[in-house]
Structure 1
Amino acid sequence: MSGNVDELAYVEAEKGKASLEFEDEKQMARFELGVSMAVYKWEALDLAVQNSWGGPESAEKRDWVSAIIVDLFKDGKIVDVSLIEETLLYAMMDEFETNCDDDSALPIAALVIDLYKQCQQLEFSTVDSLYAQWKERQETRQSTKDIQIGGDPWNPDVSECEDESDAEDGEQQPPAMVKDMDVDVDVDMEAEDTPEPVVDEDGFELVQKKGRKPRY
């Protein structure tokens, strides 16, 4: 639900300005970071990315969603919560084929408006806080992945079997490994082509001509 969200909140460009884009590059950069962090905070979209509902480029599509929200401020003189919410919902439907009817996009839209107003006053504490929260989430997810990769300490054979099965499933090998395999194959072929020494009745080794490698 909307809760304490001001659904009618909006920002308007100052008189004489063609858009809401900040003239100061650093100021604009902080706002863009804030928008990106707000979009990353949207749990519905995060779930869609984690499950690749938008295909293999789901993460890139999320960054594109942030970009089109920023473009609303670069191209328009008035941006309100409703416009941002609709843009988020349309993007979710078009790129991830997901219909969000739980009002979860509304607080994200209101947050973007609030971030703009703060950046307008050169207040970046909320942007910094959102960025810190995002970094913490990334570190937590990475730690969770490391634990899963490490396997079950109470049943180590399970992780070993999984690793073997992954290799058997045709996992692509790195180029360096492929090169090493080629070298080993060449050495084995040369060793097989070397003829065995022939000794005559007097115990002298006979000199033999080197044979050619077979062609395939």
Structure 2
Amino acid sequence: MGSLNGNNHSGVPFTRQKPEAASHLQEEITLLLSRWHGLQMAVQNQWGGHDSFQKSQQLAADIFSWFSQSKALQIEDLENLLHESMLLSLNTEIEDGSIEEVAEQLMIMHEEYLHGNH
């Protein structure tokens, strides 16, 4: 398994991956977020307002965009993205350690994507 610091050891830039692979990564991000209990509670209870579901979908798009635009990916930056999105968009403070778990799983998925393990 590659390092979680986001270095692209494969030498293949994110944007040069096959489009169907990028689509698969987007689906995997959405699937992972759909299994995140804290996020799903915020959506079900509409803590972010009547458009909480759309905000959760935007979070998935933001994560994919972050992966595709960032050069030196750091897990702490991803954790901050998740924390800020939950707090600012969905009015949800997550303190159960799940942000760190989700960020780690996302980084692993991204590493596998870069190495062609879709």
Using structure 1 for the length normalisation, give the TM-score.
Answer: 0.49
> Residue 4 of structure 1 corresponds to which residue in structure 2?
none
Cα distance between partner residues in 1 of 2:22 and 2:90: 28
Cα distance between partner residues in 2 of 1:86 and 1:22: 27
> Residue 11 of structure 1 corresponds to which residue in structure 2?
6
Deviation at 1:106, TM superposition (A): 0.7
Distance change >3 Å, CA 47–CA 113, structure 1 → 2: same
Cα distance between partner residues in 1 of 2:81 and 2:41: 18
Does the alignment pair 1:42 with 2:29? no
Aligned residues: 116
Deviation at 1:14, TM superposition (A): 6.0
Deviation at 1:15, TM superposition (A): 9.1
User: 8 Å contact 1:42–1:108 — kept in the other structure?
Assistant: yes
Cα distance between partner residues in 2 of 1:63 and 1:22: 24
Cα distance between partner residues in 2 of 1:58 and 1:16: 38
Cα distance between partner residues in 2 of 1:120 and 1:100: 29
* Structure 2 counterpart of 1:86, one-letter code: N
Which protein has the bigger strand share? 1
Deviation at 1:116, TM superposition (A): 1.2
> Residue 60 of structure 2 corresponds to which residue in structure 1?
66
Give the share of equivalent positions with the same residue, in percent: 20
* Structure 2 counterpart of 1:12, one-letter code: N
User: 8 Å contact 1:48–1:96 — kept in the other structure?
Assistant: yes
**Gap runs ≥5 in structure 1:** 1-7, 125-216
Cα distance between partner residues in 2 of 1:109 and 1:31: 14
SS class of match (1:11): coil
Aligned-residue Cα RMSD (Å) equals 2.1
Question: Aligned ranges for residues 96-111 of structure 1 at < 5 Å?
Answer: 96-111=90-105
Which protein has the bigger helix share? 2
Task: Say which structure, 1 or 2, has more relative contact order (CA 8 Å, 6+ apart).
Answer: 2
Does the alignment pair 1:84 with 2:78? yes
Using structure 2 for the length normalisation, give the TM-score.
Answer: 0.86
